[in-house]
Amino acid sequence: MVMVALNKVVYAVEAGSMRIPEHRAAAVQVVMKTPKMFWVTKPVIVRNVPVTAVRPTPRLAEWRYTFATEASKWRGATGVGTLKQDSRSGKHKAGDTVLAVQAKAQEVLKAAAGRLTKPRAATYDPETGRYRSYIRYRIHTPEELRKLAGL
């Protein structure tokens, strides 16, 4: 993933937009296709930079600060290691062989997670483990789509 200034990709144009405030950096994200992205047909994907890259939430800013201050603890880790816990996405399981730096980073960041002070977003539902805003930002909820489709 690469961030490129917009004027490097597109000729600068004077235009007003309600979506991009003037104080926000005008940038685009350029993602090159790799063999692991087998489902992608375009060789290059150009998209807007996520708003959290410019204006992180308080909890995200705290996580980034924690990452920056704790990174020295896994500096110099070489070789391979094993994960002690499952990844949140479920892609990697405990006991998987990964780079030693990844295993050490997981261990350090999991220990640091208990020291976070900023609360999760108000839309986080701890019972389901999901953010309610995921559905709120969609035009229709799955139940509404089922009704519209007559299923």
- Which token pair is 2? 């690469």
Q: What ranges do the domains of the chain cover? A: 2-54, 58-115, 121-151
Over residues 138-150, the pLDDT tens digits come to 666 778 888 888 8
Q: What is the pTM of this model?
A: 0.54
Least confident stretch, 35-49, 50-64, 75-89, 126-140: 126-140
Show Cβ contacts of residue 42 under 8 Å, excluding neighbours closer than 6 positions. 33
